[in-house]
Every structure is written in C-alpha cells, then in structure tokens.
Amino acid sequence: MSALTMSARPGSEGDAGPRPIPWRRMAGVTWRQHRYALAGVAVLLGALAVWLWIIGTSLHQAYAAAVSCRPASSGACQGLVNAFDDMNNHMVSAASPGGVFLQVVPVLIGAFAGAPVLARELETGTFRYAWTQGFGRWRWALAKLVLLGVVLAAATGAVGVLVSWYYQPYFAAGNQSLGLSEIPPFATLFSLRGVAFPAWTLAAFVIGALAGMLIRRVVPAIVATLAVYAGLAVAAGGFLREHYLTPLVTTSPNVPGTAWVISQWWTRDGRFAFAPNPPLSLLNQFCSAPPTGKGGKPSFGTFAQCLAQHGYTQWTSYQPASRFWPFQWIEGGWLLALSALLIAATIWLVRRRAA
C-alpha cells in the first residue's frame, strides 16, 4: 500500500473538520449588531441616574435639616418635617409620575432590546446567512442572549442601588419619634431595588427574545412582551410575593409601622367573626361613643379597644421589615431560574428551526 492510497488515521489533521469560531469573536459581532439598542439603554438609564441623584440629594438634605433641627417641637422644625414628608409624594413614590415611570423601565428595556434580537433576523430573512456560519446557530443565539442579558442586568443593578440610596432616609432608626415618615420597605418600589431590578430586567429581556423567536416579527413580539411582563408582574406583586415566607400572626394592636400587613380578621369565642373591618352596625351597638384618638376623632385603634371589651379579638398577619432582603433574594432567584429556563427554550427552538 502506497502513501497515496493509505487511509488516514482517525484524529489525524487531514480528517479534522473546520475549527469552530471562538466565543470571544461573538462579543464583537453582538456589539456591532446591537450597539444602537445598547446605546439607547445607556441613555435611558443615564438620564434616570442623573434624575435620581439630583432629587435624592435634595431629599437627603431635607432629611438632615429635619433631624438636626432643635427644638423638635418648634414650628420651624415641624415645617422642616412636613417638607420632608411631602417630598416623596411628588418624586419617586409608587403612585407618583416618577415612580410609575420607573416601574415600566424593566419591561421597556426588555421589550425594545430583547424582542428584536431574534425577531429581526427571522423577519428580514438574514437568519439564513447568520445560522450557516462557522459559529453555529445555537452558539450564535446563546452568545447573544447571555452577553446582552449580563450587560443589561449589570446596568440596571447599578440603578437599583441608586434607588435604594434614595429611600435610605425613610428607613432610618428614630424617624417615628421625630415625627418623620416611616415607609414600609415592601411598599417602596420593591421590584426596583436590590437584586430585584436586574432580575426583572433580565426576565423581561428573555421574554422578549422568546416572543421574537415564536412570533418572528419585531412589533408583535414587543407587544407580546409588554403583555406577558404585565401579567407576570401583577401575579408576583399581588399573589406570590406575600407567600415567600410564612407571615407572622399576632393579636397585638402594636404591629410595627414598617411591617407589610397581609390581612386582618376578627374572632369571638375562638370562632371567625368578620374581616377585615367591623361592620358599622356592630360599632354603633358597642362603640357608640368610643375614646377619641389623634385630632379628637375616633381612630381604628380605639374601635379595636372598644370591641375587645366585648369579647372580640383582632388578628393580623404581616411580613416584618427585617424580611426585605430575604424576599429580594427569593424573588431574584426565581426570576433568574425563569430566565435560564426561557433561554433554554429559545435555544431549543433555534436548533429546531429549519434554516
């Protein structure tokens, strides 16, 4: 057998196929294809960061002035306290225009940066070229999703730290004794602080990518992303979040002001009576002239004391403020797991899609 007719040995150089393109090459391709979307995200988050820094600085200054004012009972000091209390309602509270806009930032980023990642290639037909290159279709999709997801999560995580810094004065010890506002941590844009903000942004981005793969058109994929994200956010905030850990239950009327009250109900002789508030007829029967509360008006606490004298017991289930960070990690964890699952589903669809 001559050298020309000798069979090549397995694994020899002549039998080897073309080497796959290194992963690092895909970073440059991803940047070139999505640099305008990333630039738009950078402008949006940069503007939000500047705005949060400006109003946050004013809030911290107002807090410092109110805390340092002496004597605290003077009219001037009370004016500083009232000015501090009013600032959040007009700036970044959940119901203020700024707070409402901040809550839609994750889905805006996810919809407009995530939906076009695959949908644009499928809609224009360029996937037929991109998927036949040496990098491979599934590696191409995985590299894009992971690289863009990491960048978006890091950027929004930085903004989430800034949102947490903005709210620091409301969680300071001793606010109640000074007459300053005490806001429950769970009620202050929970999904935009700590690890929740990048986790929600990542989930919205992956939802957009999967919608683009399924629908194969950019605009309908964006609409689908907005709808799915809205449903997921409502489900998490209205049903899931309060059950991350078993709520504490107490009959004490002195529930901490920073606690997240889940539900309240009343019992009499060990049996359920009503929930959440006593009916007006019962109050008229037993509490026609209850002790007055602050400002000379009957308060809910004085009604509770009145009904307690007639055998009624009020129960309250709540999540204490100390569980804020455990809740943040729980929510961030399941959102990360959901994102990984959706990425896997997207890659599976890309591998099955005929080029």
**DSSP state for residue 9 in the 8-state scheme:** P
The answer on pLDDT for 10 being more than 50 is no
Could you tell me how far CA 308 lies from the centroid of its own chain? 40
3-state secondary structure 255-314: CCCCCEEEEEEEEECCEEEECCCCCHHHHHHHCCCCCCCHHHCCCHHHHHHHHHCCCEEE
Condensed to tens digits (0 to 9), the pLDDT of residues 241-260 reads: 999 999 999 988 778 878 88
The answer on pLDDT for 13 being more than 50 is no
Least confident of 169-178, 318-327, 334-343: 169-178
The answer on pLDDT for 3 being more than 50 is no
CB 176 within 8 A of CB 85: no
pTM (2 d.p.):
0.80
Condensed to tens digits (0 to 9), the pLDDT of residues 124-154 reads: 776 665 666 656 677 778 888 888 999 999 9
Smallest CA-to-CA distance from 124 within 218, 11, 13, 44 is with 218
SS3 for 190? Answer: helix
Residue 302: the pLDDT is: 66
Alpha helices in the chain (DSSP H): 23-68, 75-89, 97-109, 115-124, 127-130, 137-167, 175-178, 196-215, 218-235, 280-286, 300-308, 324-352
- The count of C-alpha atoms lying within 13 angstroms of the C-alpha of 338, restricted to the half-sphere facing its C-beta, is 18
Residue 14: the pLDDT is: 42
Residue 15: the pLDDT is: 41
d(C-alpha 51, C-alpha 158), whole Å: 14
Residue 305: the pLDDT is: 74
CB 164 within 8 A of CB 193: yes
Least confident of 110-119, 164-173, 297-306, 322-331: 297-306
Residue 74: the pLDDT is: 82
**DSSP state for residue 168 in the 8-state scheme:** G
Q: What do you get for the CA distance between the two ends of the chain, in Å?
A: 43
Smallest CA-to-CA distance from 149 within 30, 327, 23 is with 30
CB 95 within 8 A of CB 101: no
What mean pLDDT value characterizes the chain?
A: 80
- The count of C-alpha atoms lying within 13 angstroms of the C-alpha of 166, restricted to the half-sphere facing its C-beta, is 28
Peptide linkage before 71 cis (omega within 30 of 0): yes
Q: Select, from the ranges 29-33, 68-72, 125-129, 242-246, the one with the highest average predicted confidence (pLDDT).
A: 242-246
Q: How confident is the model over 344-349, as a mean pLDDT?
A: 91
Query: Packing angle between helix 97-109 and helix 137-167, nearest 10 degrees?
Result: 160
Q: How many CB atoms lie within 10 A of CB 299?
A: 14
- The count of C-alpha atoms lying within 13 angstroms of the C-alpha of 164, restricted to the half-sphere facing its C-beta, is 16
Amino acid at 22: P
d(C-alpha 130, C-alpha 269), whole Å: 73
Residue 335: the pLDDT is: 96
CB 99 within 8 A of CB 189: yes
Amino acid at 298: P
d(C-alpha 146, C-alpha 234), whole Å: 26
- The count of C-alpha atoms lying within 13 angstroms of the C-alpha of 169, restricted to the half-sphere facing its C-beta, is 23
For residue 232, what pLDDT band results from cuts at 50, 70 and 90? Answer: very high
Q: How confident is the model over 66-76, as a mean pLDDT?
A: 81
Backbone dihedral angles phi then psi of residue 8, each to the nearest 5 degrees: -70, 145
Quick one: tokens of 193?
A: 């602080």
Smallest CA-to-CA distance from 98 within 195, 158, 200, 188 is with 188
The answer on pLDDT for 199 being more than 80 is yes
